[in-house]
Structure 1
Amino acid sequence: MTYTGPASASAGIVTALVGFTSSFVVILTGLHAVGATDGQASSGLLGLCLVVGASTLWLALRHRVPVTTAWSTPGGAVLGTAGASADGFGDAVGAFIVCALLLVLSGLWPALGAVASSIPTPIAQAMLAGVLLPLCMKAVTGLDESPGAVVPVLVVWLLGTMFLPRWAVPVTFLAAGVVIAVHLAVDDAAVLDTAAMAPHLEFTLPTFSIGAVIGIALPLYVVTMASQNLPGVAVLESYGYRAPWKDALVTTGAGSLLVAPVGGSAINLAAISAALCAAPETGVDKELRWRSAVWSGSTYLVLAVSAAAIVALASSAPVGLLAAVAGVALLGAFGGAVQGAWSDEVLRLPAIVTFLVAASGTTFFGIGAAFWALVAGVVVMVLLRVSARRARR
């Protein structure tokens, strides 16, 4: 066995930095879309950092496995299109609580998790792809809103994709930060609220509405399970680790429940970023890679201090800039969702219907498109199966 302390620290810190910088704008965009003020959004981001850090530390130290947690980036995308389902941020917080309870119950009562997993992957992925499409399009529409601000950021993203693929999105966020700094320096109308940069938690009284529970909580739960938790288990298993499934669901669900009243949406097992701690490329012995997860969790606790400052900077950005950056950050998730949606030829038509309904953004009875997309996809799938059975008879 070799000494791998520096390698463990490096892998863990990189995991946290990549996970944070690659998706925090998506979370902020989603929170704002469901009615959060800047103060509530910064509180939510700080709370999410704290519970991601604490839950990662707990699971890694308890199980000695390089298991990491993260906030639900696909869930943030769902929030970004779910504003019509919430009549104020209180409704959204109530939906976060319901989602958290469902996650806890999924760990304690396996049958509920089985129900969530029974939704065919192509339909779940098609719903996610439809939700992501309008957000990804912001990278294009931002060119019309603020071309001088968006073009340099897109150029940096393209160069990063070519030469530093792993760091392409973090470098893009750094470029956006530079653009915001220049904007503040040259535009007399742009003001940075330094008083809002102090870390703080802001409690929001939850309210519970049928529209928010159905239009926010259920789609948030489905994408968190299908696009984060299940792939997170698969990533760990691909590197020879057994994921602590029950404990992970209960822990992340309890963490989500704890952070919901201060504006946090949902946390889950990390999926894509999980490989940064668990892969052999870290240079850490397999039985010691859990230490990288400990470093990752600790780094998130440090990053929590910066949440309010980041939101204050984001609120000073040129129009359309952060939406464009969020669109770029979600391109990888969109591509993966599209690929998963079209993977099964038998389910292709239901997946297409699901995708179109989700992408439409249409609201019925105060419930957002993500829920109706799942309903439409499942209904078409059932009808096609009934028709196929009759044809065979």
Structure 2
Amino acid sequence: MTTSDSHGDAQPTTKQPLIERGPGFRTGLRDLPGHLNLATIGAGVIATIFGCTGPALIVIGGASAAGLSAEIIASWIFGIYVFGGLISIVMALYYQQPINGAYSIPGAALVAAALPNFSFAEMVGAFLMAGLIVLVIGMSGLVRKLADSIPFPIVMAMIAGALIRFGIDIIDSAIAAPAVVGAALVGYVVLSRFLPRVPGVLGALALGVLVAAFLGDFGSLEGGIGLSAPVLIMPAFDIGAMLAVAVPLALLVIGAENAQAMGVLMAERYDPPFNMMTIISGIGGLIAPIFGGHNANIAGPMTAICSSDQAGEDPAGRYAASVVNGVLFGLFGIFAGVTVALVTILPAELIATVAGLAMIGVLVRSFQESFSAPRFQLGAFFALIIAMSGITVFNISAPFWSLVGGVLASLLLEPGHFRAREQETTTAD
């Protein structure tokens, strides 16, 4: 990873092998029961609620609009949630870090827009190619080299800009549903103020649910709980789909989801396994498409929720939240036959509010790390505003361009900071 020194520079730690070593599964499993508590379980549940509502609707809505059968849609949900959940369990237990798996949310939007232009078999072929691209980049070791070269304040500014929308969503939700969001905020304040050992987001969720139920703001549940049989999808390969879907989807996985998750972990003072996070995203991108899923990879927002202080005071135990999230994601995917019904129950405003409250700690630390040091301030500023803009260029979303723009701004406007960092690194070696 890169850490920040007193000047806010990125300083590489001890050289890691291609596949970074972690404490191991035996240690992760042995310590897991001791870390399962109200905070870690609550954070895992909240990450699940976030990931199984709005993001799932993007997939379901896009697939339905393209005329895909309910069987294929259920299989798609199975692929991204079961294998996304498996990534959470594997990475969290082996590295004992809150590393979450899911799928690319902007990637889902990209895929939904492209579905009318290609057959689903051609889309699946593009999904597989995207997974292969991510795997090759991960095996090259390039991601860790890039991560070590980007100044820490610029990375933190990207995280602040990318996640600030979750904070803004609290305000927008309060305007749209003042009673429900107001109750959630009261629950958060009461627990944070008077029961600090209990995460405030749990109070927000509990009181928000109660008020939503009282007001009748829940959606109706249709259908029954049942298992869904995944469908094996035979791929077809089309050059147009490769260019329109595979390449931008691969860049979204690396430049949006993985980059966010890595930056969040750095902000929380973890040592992210950069290469392995990319490699397993590539593996997930090869397995999920077998069942019609567009990818299964490291997830930025869920990692932010499970790595925040709302997941417990002990950072070493927050990986349990990711395990909980992974198990629940897997169950959600297995019972994909009822997905459409379940995701419509909770009010969207409540989900947005709870997710935003869970990320307050990450946001505050990201802003602090972005602008508390004298170096790379202009680069951090441009990274922040680019990430906040939400721009998409060549179907690649803002977090990627935030890092590119931030580094470019520093190279043009503060080149001396790079030279000073290089001299310090050389002296240290």
TM class by shorter chain equals: 0.5 to 0.7
Distance change in 2, residues 1:302/1:225 (3 Å): closer
Q: State the distance in 2 between where 1:361 and 1:292 align.
A: 28
Q: State the distance in 1 between where 2:355 and 2:92 align.
A: 30
Query: Which residue number corresponds to residue 286 of structure 1?
Result: none
Q: Report the alpha carbon displacement of residue 248 of structure 1 after superposing the two structures with TM.
A: 5.9
Asked if 2 retains the 8 angstrom alpha-carbon contact of 1:85 and 1:367, the reply is: no
- Mapping 1:319-330, distance limit 5 Å: 320-330=349-359
Deviations 1:320-374 (A, max 9, x none): 3322232223323322322232244221111111211221234456654334333
Distance change in 2, residues 1:358/1:152 (3 Å): same
Match of 2:209 among 177, 182, 185: 177
Distance change in 2, residues 1:317/1:55 (3 Å): closer
1:193 aligns to 2:221 (yes or no): yes
Distance change in 2, residues 1:216/1:133 (3 Å): farther
What's the Cα RMSD here? 5.1
Of 98-107 and 318-327, deviating more is 98-107
Query: Which residue number corresponds to residue 279 of structure 2?
Result: 250
**Aligned letter for 1:351?**
A
Match of 2:83 among 32, 42, 51: 51
Distance change in 2, residues 1:343/1:104 (3 Å): farther
Query: Which residue number corresponds to residue 29 of structure 1?
Result: 54
Q: State the distance in 1 between where 2:321 and 2:163 align.
A: 31
Match of 2:362 among 333, 356, 362: 333
Query: Which residue number corresponds to residue 376 of structure 1?
Result: 405
SS of equivalent to 2:113: coil
Of 173-182 and 243-252, deviating more is 243-252
Question: Aligned residues: percent identity?
Answer: 22
Asked if 2 retains the 8 angstrom alpha-carbon contact of 1:363 and 1:369, the reply is: yes
Distance change in 2, residues 1:147/1:387 (3 Å): same
Q: Report the alpha carbon displacement of residue 51 of structure 1 after superposing the two structures with TM.
A: 2.8
Q: State the distance in 1 between where 2:346 and 2:325 align.
A: 29
1:110 aligns to 2:141 (yes or no): yes
Asked if 2 retains the 8 angstrom alpha-carbon contact of 1:154 and 1:172, the reply is: yes
Deviations 1:34-73 (A, max 9, x none): 8656989987776555335534665688x6x646641269
Asked if 2 retains the 8 angstrom alpha-carbon contact of 1:72 and 1:228, the reply is: no
Asked if 2 retains the 8 angstrom alpha-carbon contact of 1:156 and 1:171, the reply is: yes
State the structure with bigger RCO (CA 8 A, min sep 6), 1 or 2. Answer: 1
Q: State the distance in 2 between where 1:295 and 1:115 align.
A: 31
SS of equivalent to 2:284: helix
Distance change in 2, residues 1:87/1:380 (3 Å): same
Query: Which residue number corresponds to residue 221 of structure 1?
Result: 254
Q: State the distance in 2 between where 1:258 and 1:315 align.
A: 28
Distance change in 2, residues 1:281/1:330 (3 Å): closer
Of 333-342 and 15-24, deviating more is 15-24
Match of 2:44 among 20, 30, 49: 20
Consecutive unaligned residues of structure 2, counting only runs of 5 or more, are 1-28, 65-69, 118-122, 420-429
Of 381-390 and 330-339, deviating more is 381-390
Asked if 2 retains the 8 angstrom alpha-carbon contact of 1:157 and 1:172, the reply is: yes
Q: State the distance in 1 between where 2:169 and 2:191 align.
A: 19
SS of equivalent to 2:220: coil
Q: Report the alpha carbon displacement of residue 318 of structure 1 after superposing the two structures with TM.
A: 4.0
